[in-house]
Amino acid sequence: MPADYHTHTPLCKHASGTPEGYVEAAVAAGLDEYGISDHAPCRPEPFDDWRMLECELPEYLDWIARAETAARDRVIVRAGMECDWLKGCEGFIGELAGKYDWDYLIGSVHYLGDWDFDNPKWLGKWAQTDVEATWSEYWKTYAEMAESGLFDILAHPDLVKKFSHVPPGDLDRFYDPVIEAIAANGSVIELNTAGWHKPCTEAYPAPRFLELAASAGIGLVISSDAHAPNEIARDFQKARELARAAGYRETQRFEKRKRSTEIL
């Protein structure tokens, strides 16, 4: 089974479960590795209402330690964070990277300017937005995140489609430059199964993006983005088949920010 590196904890205020609950779910799913990657703090605080505060980092590390205790030798616990890529965040991400011996850092684009476009709270804003322009801005931001080289894993590549706002025509015009930026930088992308359970009803990224990524030699991890224990490794069989159909034959593992490969 591939590892599941993108999972949350209640510290972000929109996930549920205990470390023990997640560990039991990971063991039951047959995972070799369970990686914890809650929404990292952002500055200035309070930044929004869906992440841990900086002062809660020790509590987060306790949560990880509790998971390790619960896991014993049944599943390997990995420690990471899901960091938001924001204008001018580089210094702070560097600081966060030094706070613990992380196994990996995940980078995510959830914000375009001050709009967290994937938040159902602001769904109305989509109606006032030009989808083509929003997509252009999203992918430009995503490429910049890749070029920063700060992250091991780039999360949910086409999250911008979450509520099914997709411009007409061939989407390669958005995909090509970002594929090039990711390939040049060496970070890996995720096949995030949560998209199957969102209005877009498609995993992130779309099959075409996955195909281009595989051809470009971009590494892959399969992730659930679990916000509850019963979402651990959700749809992983379906995801493996999708990855193989796109041309992938291996997935990536991370330990202390060093990569290795695993046969898919």
What residues make contact with Zn ion under the rule CB under 5 A? 225
Give me the least distance between CB of 39 and Fe ion, in Å please.
Answer: 7
Taking the least distance from each CB to Zn ion, the nearer of 119 and 185 is 119
Q: Note the residues at the interface with Fe ion (CB under 5 A).
A: 82, 108, 225
Taking the least distance from each CB to Fe ion, the nearer of 155 and 210 is 155
Choose the one of Zn ion, Fe ion, none that binds residue 24, judging by a C-beta under 5 to 8 angstroms depending on kind. none
Closest-by-Cβ residue to Zn ion is 225
Taking the least distance from each CB to Zn ion, the nearer of 103 and 225 is 225
Give me the least distance between CB of 89 and Fe ion, in Å please.
Answer: 15
Give me the least distance between CB of 242 and Fe ion, in Å please.
Answer: 19
Taking the least distance from each CB to Fe ion, the nearer of 108 and 193 is 108
Choose the one of Fe ion, Zn ion, none that binds residue 103, judging by a C-beta under 5 to 8 angstroms depending on kind. none
Nearest 10 degrees: Cα torsion 175, 178, 184, 189: -80
Taking the least distance from each CB to Fe ion, the nearer of 21 and 180 is 21
Taking the least distance from each CB to Fe ion, the nearer of 24 and 84 is 84
Give me the least distance between CB of 145 and Zn ion, in Å please.
Answer: 13
Q: Which residues, in sequence order, are CB contacts of 87 under 8 Å at separation 6+? A: none
Give me the least distance between CB of 7 and Fe ion, in Å please.
Answer: 8
Q: Report the 3 state secondary structure along 114-166.
A: CEECCCHHHHHHHHCCCHHHHHHHHHHHHHHHHHHCCCCEECCCCHHHCCCCC
Q: Which of 170, 113, 106 is nearest to 141 (CA)?
A: 113
Cα distance between residue 30 and residue 76, in whole Å: 11
Taking the least distance from each CB to Fe ion, the nearer of 24 and 82 is 82
Instruction: List, in sequence order, the alpha helices (H) in the chain.
Output: 19-28, 57-71, 90-97, 123-127, 131-148, 172-185, 207-215, 236-246
Give me the least distance between CB of 170 and Fe ion, in Å please.
Answer: 26
Cα distance between residue 185 and residue 192, in whole Å: 20
Give me the least distance between CB of 194 and Fe ion, in Å please.
Answer: 8
**Do the Cβ atoms of 224 and 232 come closer than 8 Å?**
yes
Question: Helix crossing, 207-215 with 172-185: angle to 10°?
Answer: 40
Q: Which two tokens stand for residue 88?
A: 């001018």
User: Given 3-state DSSP classes, what are the helix, strand and coil percentages for the chain, each rounded to the nearest 5?
Assistant: 40, 20, 40
Q: Which of 176, 250, 165 is nearest to 209 (CA)?
A: 176
